[in-house]
Amino acid sequence: MYEIIFNFAKIFTMKRTLLILSLFASIIASAQQRLVYQSYMLGSDSGDTTFREVLRYKTQLKIHDIQEFEGTLIQGLSKDFTYVDYSTDSAYFQMNYDDGESYFYSYPLKTNDVEFEEKGEEKILGYNCKKYKTSINSNTIEVWMTESLGFDASPVTSRGYLKGVMVRQAINGNRIMDLKSIKKDKKDKMDKKDKRGIIPEGLGIRKTGKELNQINKDKLIVRTKIFDDEQIHFAKIDKFRGEIPFDTVLHYSWGTIILKRVNLPVLPDHYQLFVELHQRSNGDAYDRTGSVFVIPTDRQLSLSNALIDSIEVIPYQLDKNGKKYQGIRLEDDYMPVVELVRFFTPFGVNHFNDRVNIDGLEWENEAYYKMEVSELSDRLSGDVLIGAFIGNYDGGGHKVSLDLVAYPQDYDGDVSKNNRWSLPLFNTCNVMEMSGQNYGRLFQTDSLTVEFDIPEGVENLKLRYITTGHGGWGGGDEFNPKENTIIIDGEKVFKYTPWRCDCATYRELNPVSGNFWNGVSSSDLSRSGWCPGTATNPVYFDLSDLKPGHHTITVAIPQGADEGGSFSHWMVSGILIGNQ
């Protein structure tokens, strides 16, 4: 009798325990929890970890990364949330911006092409888990899920649905995401009247995932339009002689220079800064020298004085033949232009595309040049005079569009860390050619020597050097390699021979390039550091051992002799860059 009573009591106790556990699980499942996940690399001693939070209420989740960032954030960052509703097989990714704009896209959660293979059970972080495994793009992904908590929750939604709560994820065995904590949330209680629960009624403007990705990039990228389809041509244009206004395109030197004064944002030094240039012929059929440049205003005189007044107001150098070379080097009261990009127009792209038909060739509609100029960012912030030049004598000339584009590499928006430093030393690219500025012919009889001072505290010093040789006949320097020698304080320290042998790659940009009897086009020919339709890359010479104080730099080139009415010349520009 006592045994029957004991067994009955035992059964009753077990049922009550199961009931209590069931009630407890039900309470847990219906409560609002906050789950925190930590991501880290196995074997890394950097201590670099990230955290992701999952706020869960009934069948809904709100997921976002926890960013513990002290200080100023860069502009254009969005606050991103992912919402999940298991009851409707729906997921929503939302981006929110400081200007009040919100965008989202939705996708089904459970309908997914990723197939997980169940790999048994393991105990992970104190939880009894089922292990799943799959492979995506050659990456092995392992996931451990527990069903002991009585609800579903995962910080990762892009791979579909696995029942339970994710306890661990491992990608390729070393990128780990662990469940670090799970607590009842007291701060964000749901309003019983809100039928959507944790998912807000207004998610913003619906977009596709591709559109959302583009919006995100557009918000983060700092793009400044400088010139928009402006004409550079040879024409009689009245000079603007007053103080140069902001945001107005002005034409100088018979229309072959366009200039604009802009106020550029001051950005953190981690931004990568690019010049984007689009060019097409508007009537000129030939390959022409072009340059995108900044006019510095650090000293009493600059190229702006020559543009407004006369080429004669800026300092000049005389060669042994008595020829003048105006504004080509650093002086006590003058600073040469800072060349951002040296480019060369192709033969007649766009305007002459219907002039010549060649089997197998489809002409491009424009030439496109993009070059990083991050090392010159100190010259591209605040009040800046930026110009573009194409040497030509054609009434139609060329059309160009120019943007400055900055891409962040970090979230830190602190601009006080900017420490870039630069000093323009010389530039023989005669952007005022049509106003009498001479070609760089001095190397035939002379070298180019500049005196300069390095202030205390300048580090990582380099010379940014652009060089191209010209003289467009068989014996000219355009078609014959010539060694450039850089001499510092009387000592030869660098030798460099500019040469491009890939010019034939750009044939589709050159519809009216001359075609020779042997099938070669004139635009195919190798040249001294340039090709029609390309920009010339700078080369960088390490000067980190150069001490603060007074120095000299000399550029020597064995320029070829004149032939009849033809002559060779060299366009070289040099800028010291570093950190201070």
**So what's the pLDDT on residue 241?**
86
- The pLDDT of residue 514 is 87
Please provide the average confidence, as pLDDT, over all residues in the chain: 91
End-to-end CA distance of the chain: 95
Q: Determine what percent of the chain is predicted with pLDDT higher than 90.
A: 82
Report which of residues 316 and 185 the model is more confident about: 316
Question: Is residue 11 pLDDT above 50, yes or no?
Answer: no
Give CATH for domain 221-579.
2.60.120.1570
Tell me whether strands 448-454 and 491-496 are parallel, antiparallel or unpaired. unpaired
| pLDDT class of 186 with cuts at 50, 70, 90 | low
The mean per-residue pLDDT over the stretch 229-244 comes to 93
Per-residue pLDDT at 24: 44
Q: What is the pLDDT of residue 187?
A: 53
pLDDT, one tens digit per residue, over 477-500 is 999 999 999 999 999 999 999 999
Tell me the Cα Rg of the chain.
Answer: 33
**What integer pLDDT is reported at residue 284 of this predicted model?**
98
The predicted pLDDT at position 252 comes to 97
| Reported confidence tier of residue 194, pLDDT bands at 50, 70, 90 | very low
pLDDT band at 155 (very low <50, low <70, confident <90, very high): very high
Average pLDDT over residues 1-21: 47
Which are the contacts of 446, defined by CB distance < 8 A and separation ≥ 6? Answer: 319, 320
The average pLDDT across 542-555 equals: 97
pLDDT of amino acid 8: 47
* Those residues with Cβ within 8 angstroms of residue 33's Cβ, 6 or more apart along the chain or in another chain: 55, 56, 153, 182, 183, 184, 185
Question: Domain residues of the chain, as ranges?
Answer: 31-216, 221-579
Integer Cα distance of 452 and 241 in angstroms? 31
Which pLDDT does position 6 carry in this prediction? 45
Is the pLDDT at 517 greater than 90? The verdict is no
Write down the pLDDT at residue 47: 65
- Residue pair 136/159 in contact (Cβ under 8 Å)? The answer is yes
Q: What six digits make up the tokens of 508?
A: 């589709």
- Residue 38's nearest CA partner among 53, 16, 24, 60 is 53
| Rounded Cα gap, residues 460 and 296, in angstroms | 22
Cβ neighbours of residue 565 closer than 8 Å, sequence gap 6 or more = none
Q: Confidence class of residue 110 from pLDDT cuts 50, 70 and 90?
A: confident
State residue 242's pLDDT score: 86
Residue % of the chain over a pLDDT of 70: 91
pTM for this entry: 0.86
Please, which pLDDT band fits residue 360 given cuts at 50, 70 and 90? confident
Q: What is the pLDDT of residues 262-315, one digit of tens each?
A: 999 999 999 999 999 999 999 999 999 999 999 999 999 999 999 999 999 999
Instruction: Tell me the per-residue pLDDT of 144-154, one tens digit each, with 9 for 90 and over.
Output: 999 999 999 99
Query: Mean pLDDT across the stretch 451-465?
Result: 97
Residue 195 above 70 pLDDT?
Answer: no
Could you tell me which residue, 420 or 241, shows the higher pLDDT? 420
Confidence grade of residue 359 (pLDDT, cut at 50, 70, 90): confident
Q: How confident is the model at residue 192 (pLDDT cuts 50, 70, 90)?
A: very low
Q: What is the pLDDT, as a whole number, of residue 17?
A: 43
> Cα–Cα distance between 32 and 54 in angstroms, integer?
10
Residue 12 pLDDT: 47
The pLDDT of residue 239 is 84
- Look at residue 1 and tell me whether its pLDDT is greater than 60: no
Q: Which of 239-248, 322-331, 382-391 has the lowest mean pLDDT?
A: 239-248
- Smallest Cα–Cα separation from 503: which of 346, 282, 278? 346
Calpha distance 218→209 (Å, rounded): 14
pLDDT digits (tens, 9 = 90+) for 421-447: 999 999 999 999 999 999 999 999 999
Cβ–Cβ < 8 Å for 266, 380:
no
Question: Nearest 10 degrees: CA dihedral of 6, 11, 17, 22?
Answer: -170
Q: Strand ranges (DSSP E) for 213-366?
A: 222-232, 250-252, 257-264, 272-281, 289-295, 316-318, 324-326, 338-344
Write down the pLDDT at residue 518.
82
Region 341-351: mean pLDDT is 98
CATH 2.50.20 for domain 31-216, yes or no, is yes
pLDDT at residue number 30: 54
Task: Transcribe 303-345 into DSSP letters.
Answer: HHHHHHT-GGGS-EEE-TT--EEET-B-BTTB---EEEEEEE-
Per-residue pLDDT at 196 exceeds 70: no
Average pLDDT over residues 524-536: 98
Please tell me the predicted confidence (pLDDT) of residue 197.
Answer: 76
Residues paired with 81 in a beta bridge: 94
